[in-house]
Amino acid sequence: MARHQPSAIDRLGPQIVEWVGRRRSAGRTIDEILTELNALPELVEQQLEISRSSLGRHVKGLAEIGERMRRSREITESLARMGNRADNKMLRGTIEVLNTIVLETALALEEDEDGQVRPVALNPAQVKALSEATRALASAEKTDADREARIRAEAKAEATAEARKKLEAAGRSGELDPEALARAKRIMGY
């Protein structure tokens, strides 16, 4: 794997990366962000100036990740809506899709401005979204397991009730003598 070399924006620290993300989320253009960024006292004091291309690549990466996450969310929501109408195979499929999306996002690589491959840098909002997706995945898996256990318990209760009904009917019809009926009930647990 290529070594991780932080981009010019990443080297400014997490507060600046988050600051850029907030500005972009607020609808600011790259030029507006660049003007504000290069006027920040921290950069002026260190005589640092970020290039438009560096900022553009950083913002483009954020946009691509955001777009992938939006598409993933739409796919997952669509599958979940379908899962409400289908059996638990659809729910399991949805869980698998979400699991794949979370894993691909966490392991994604991108090129920095020097052409070096590095892990995708996620801003706090993206990390929070991944965390929430992971929590939702775990919750969905538990809900699925609970649902399956409830279905098995209901099936067992129905089978037991049906067996009891047949046993009682056999006793009433004389197919089983009272002693055999009592023994069968004891064996069956009722």
The vertex-111 CA angle with 105 and 115, nearest 5°, equals 170
DSSP 13: -
Cβ atoms within 10 Å of 60's Cβ, excluding its own: 12
pLDDT tens digits, 46-68:
888 888 888 888 887 777 777 77
Within a domain: 175: yes
Q: What's the one-letter identity of residue 3?
A: R
User: Which residue, 97, 25, 34, is CA-closest to 62?
Assistant: 25
Within a domain: 179: yes
Stronger pLDDT, 32 or 81, i.e. the higher one: 32
Question: Is this prediction's pTM over 0.85?
Answer: no
Indicate the average pLDDT of the chain. Answer: 78
Within a domain: 2: no
- The three-class DSSP label of residue 117 is strand
Within a domain: 4: no
Within a domain: 129: yes
pLDDT tens digits, 27-51:
899 899 999 988 988 888 888 888 8
Q: Are 58 and 80 in contact (CB under 8 A)?
A: no
Q: How many folded domains does the chain comprise?
A: 1
Q: Can you tell me which residue has the tokens 């899962």?
A: 83
CA gap 167, 25 in Å, rounded: 69
Q: Per-residue pLDDT averaged across 170-185, rounded?
A: 88
- What are the φ and ψ backbone dihedral angles of 91, each rounded to 5 degrees? -60, -45
Within a domain: 96: yes
Within a domain: 5: no
- Give CA separation, 150 vs 83, 142, 160, in Å: 18, 12, 15
Structural domain harbouring 152: 10-188
